[in-house]
Amino acid sequence: MAYIGVSPSNGVRTVFDYTATAGQTSFSGSDNNSQTLSYTDSAYIDVYQNGVLLIPSDYTATTGTSVVLDTGATVSDSVQIVVYDVFSVADTVSKANGGTFESNISIGGTLGVTGNVISPVTIGGTTPTLTIGDAGEEDTKIVFDGNAQDFHIGLDDSADSLTIGLGSTLGTTSHMVFDANGHITKPLQPAFQAYLSGNQDNFAINTNVTVQFDSERFDNNADFNTSNYTFTAPVTGRYQFNLALRFNNVDTAAGFYQALLGTSNRNYALFTIDPNYSSDVSYLHGNWAVLTDMDANDTAYIYVYQNNGGQQTDISSGTDCAFSGYLVC
């Protein structure tokens, strides 16, 4: 059918078709298609009589359930009442151009984000929960994208451990690892133990003599140098140092023996022994510890001093002699 005016085939609407009887003015109830006439606002209906759009002054629509023509229809006239849905256009964010939501959003399903999420982000509710992962056999992580350095927190699924580390790749440079049993390890935390591979024989008297710890049992972060027998602090902090030392062929004629920890900030006398015995003794052995303050790049080493006597004393190798240390805080 041709129409004068806007065709009722366009728009979000419901079309009600009636066939008039002679002189009929009121149209309501069930139409030719068993649809019951109903509208919310008379400003959002169009009335057509035999395909001609009537103007609002040609009819009355006030009840929400009926339309009354001012002039009675002719028998078999086609009367169409087009009711348009009434709705409010909500604030929208363009799919193509984006935008900003300025209030709360509830999502019942899955939210997929390909680009960036702009802060701040708040997770509310009575028990706020953020779940990363879907219970699959896969690593998951959060990457902190810094200017000079990136860091990450992630689940190493194959090891069942939580890792905090440097960079964006999980497990490449792990700073702290939490396993499933609650054990915490810090793979790069400064810690070392060094020892002598052989005796340091007949060390000089009346001078400071560096103990030649030239071998390592372990050295996290590689901070101990076996060539100059020195530990270098990688970071400012408090460091615990431990010394196990054995002197062989101790000379009773010596005024005293000393073992000292030398650091960039100060020296620490770990022990002083006066070998006032009736005769020379085969050995003296002891263990000592000291907590020190060190700045980054400060160094620490062990040296001994023999006052007078003969040059006959040795520093023992093996398990009797070791120098160790670690970062406390």
- Give the rounded percent of residues in the chain with a pLDDT score beyond 90: 59
Q: Which two tokens stand for residue 136?
A: 């699959």
Reduced DSSP (H G I as helix, E B as strand, rest coil) percent helix, strand, coil of the chain, to 5: 5, 45, 55
| Cα 291 from Cα 327, distance rounded (Å) | 10
Predicted confidence at residue 143, as pLDDT, reads 87
Contact 293, 185 (CB under 8 A): no
- CA gyration radius, the chain: 45
| Cα 268 from Cα 289, distance rounded (Å) | 10
| Cα 267 from Cα 241, distance rounded (Å) | 12
Predicted confidence at residue 2, as pLDDT, reads 54
| Cα 169 from Cα 280, distance rounded (Å) | 61
Q: Which two tokens stand for residue 59?
A: 């009819």
| Cα 21 from Cα 288, distance rounded (Å) | 116
| Cα 123 from Cα 85, distance rounded (Å) | 36
Predicted confidence at residue 144, as pLDDT, reads 86
Residues lower than pLDDT 70 in the chain: 1-11, 86-91
Q: Where are the domains positioned within the chain?
A: 13-84, 140-185, 191-327
- The CATH code of domain 191-327 reads 2.60.120.40
How far apart, in Å, are the Cα atoms of 131 and each of 109, 197, 309? Answer: 14, 53, 72
pTM: 0.61
pLDDT tens-digit map of 97-156:
777 777 777 777 777 777 777 777 778 778 888 888 888 888 888 888 888 889 888 888
